[in-house]
Amino acid sequence: MIKPVVRDVFFLKQPSVPASDCPEDRQAIRDLLDTLAANRDACVGMAANMIGVRKQIMVVNAGFVDFILVNPVITAKDSPYETEEGCLSLTGVRPATRYENITVEYLDHNFNPTTRQFSGFIAQIIQHELDHFSGIII
């Protein structure tokens, strides 16, 4: 189900909690995928708090496919750089420090443990959404 995008900074600053393999969190995954699809012209990734769910679930658009990361943790990173980012929940762009290459441990959409390396723009999207989990507003 397509959900409205949360723009309440007070809500967005609250930390998210780990997700679990339960009906509510599986519904949040479906809602994130639907909401990202509905906002594809202005958005390449979403954290669950952007649709009002304070769980560590994100969806990332990787071109031809969207993928889910549940409870992701960066385990390695290198090559920091400065950039500017926008957010569907906020107006304008803001500066951010990101890393070109990251290794992430997470659960996939079936809640299977996965470790994967990401680089470039996909790595940047993941780092932006991870900030949402910590209540960090760029």
Q: Which residues are catalytic?
A: 129
Q: CA 115, CA 63: separation in Å to the nearest integer?
A: 20
- CA trace torsion 67, 71, 77, 83 (10° rounding): 70
Q: CA 17, CA 99: separation in Å to the nearest integer?
A: 24
Q: CA 52, CA 4: separation in Å to the nearest integer?
A: 8
Residues 6 or more apart whose Cβ sits within 8 Å of residue 86: 92, 93, 94
